[in-house]
């Protein structure tokens, strides 16, 4: 009777074991497949050499970088959302790990939608830091699962700033030194 019970038990175990194996395998597969996704949000009006550097450095830390082109209610953009998305997409067209999207809602909702675990930002100056600190702490309170990651800009990019680039462009100046080498800004200029 006891033996019979054992047999019955071992048959039951055999039936269960593949499921346990499957669960373990599934968990491992899920672990292996879990990508590190970072959102790099900004106005990118226009996308500069400083922005490009942050994205490329981000690729060394993350599996995917999603450049989130945001709408800023406080600023009337010089380049349309379509032009900003197009200039960044064209620039990174050969890099499948970079995605570019326009969004109009909260950055944390954009992160949630894209299943991003990280929010990437660049820091040039102490005033950048003070601004970013407040934004990151508010974001952290609203969505603690998303970690803000800051990268110090390279010294040669510290002075590069989209506002200044826009001003020079408005007066027909040459901004090529401040933009990624492959970005032909004239293609995206407002008509
Ligand atoms: P936002 O309106 O969100 O400040 P920006 O396009 O100005 O959008 O900047 C997007 C991000 O890129 C911010 O984290 C900003 O600090 C960073 N950034 C801007 N210019 C540079 C630069 N020259 N070097 C490194 N990071 C930069």
- CATH number for the domain that contains residue 106: 3.40.50.620
Q: Are residues 86 and 47 in the same domain?
A: yes
Q: Are residues 12 and 85 in the same domain?
A: no
- Catalytic annotation present for 127: no
The number of folded domains in the chain is 2
Judged against a pLDDT cut of 60, whether residue 95 lies above it is answered with yes
Q: Are residues 17 and 104 in the same domain?
A: no
Q: Are residues 45 and 120 in the same domain?
A: yes
Q: What is the pLDDT of residues 103-113, one digit of tens each?
A: 999 999 999 99
Alpha-carbon gap, residue 183 to 181, rounded angstroms = 6
Q: What is the pLDDT of residues 155-164, one digit of tens each?
A: 999 999 999 9
Q: Are residues 8 and 64 in the same domain?
A: no
Q: Are residues 49 and 12 in the same domain?
A: no
Residues 6+ apart with CB under 8 A from 160: 48, 49, 50, 178
Q: Are residues 25 and 42 in the same domain?
A: no
| Cα 72 → chain centroid | 17
**pTM of the full structure:** 0.85
Q: Are residues 76 and 155 in the same domain?
A: yes
Q: Are residues 42 and 21 in the same domain?
A: no
The pLDDT confidence band at residue 125, using thresholds 50, 70 and 90, is: very high
- Catalytic annotation present for 53: no
Annotated active-site residue in 6, 17, 75, 133: 75
Alpha-carbon gap, residue 9 to 2, rounded angstroms = 10
Residue nearest to atom 24 of ligand 1 (CA): 50
- Whether ligand 1 lies within 6 angstroms of the CB of 121 is answered as yes
Structural domain including 15 reads: 2-33
In whole numbers, what is the pLDDT of the chain averaged over residues?
Answer: 89
């Amino acid at each position: 009777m006891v033996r019979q019970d054992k047999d019955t038990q071992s048959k039951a175990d055999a039936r269960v074991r593949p499921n346990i194996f499957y669960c373990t395998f599934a968990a491992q597969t899920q672990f292996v497949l879990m990508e590190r996704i970072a959102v790099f949000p900004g106005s990118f009006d226009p996308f500069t050499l400083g922005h490009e550097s942050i994205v490329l450095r981000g690729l060394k830390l993350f599996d995917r970088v999603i450049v989130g082109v945001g709408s800023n209610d406080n600023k009337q953009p010089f380049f349309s959302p379509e032009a900003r998305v197009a200039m960044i997409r064209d620039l990174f067209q050969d890099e499948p790990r970079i995605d570019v999207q326009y969004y109009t809602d909260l950055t944390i909702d954009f992160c949630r939608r894209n299943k991003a675990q990280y929010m990437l930002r660049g820091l040039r100056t102490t005033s950048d830091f003070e601004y970013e600190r407040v934004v990151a702490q508010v974001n952290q309170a609203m969505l603690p699962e998303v970690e803000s990651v800051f990268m110090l800009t390279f010294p040669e990019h510290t002075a590069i700033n989209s506002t200044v680039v826009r001003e020079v462009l408005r007066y027909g100046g040459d901004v090529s030194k401040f933009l990624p080498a492959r970005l032909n800004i004239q293609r995206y200029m407002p008509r």
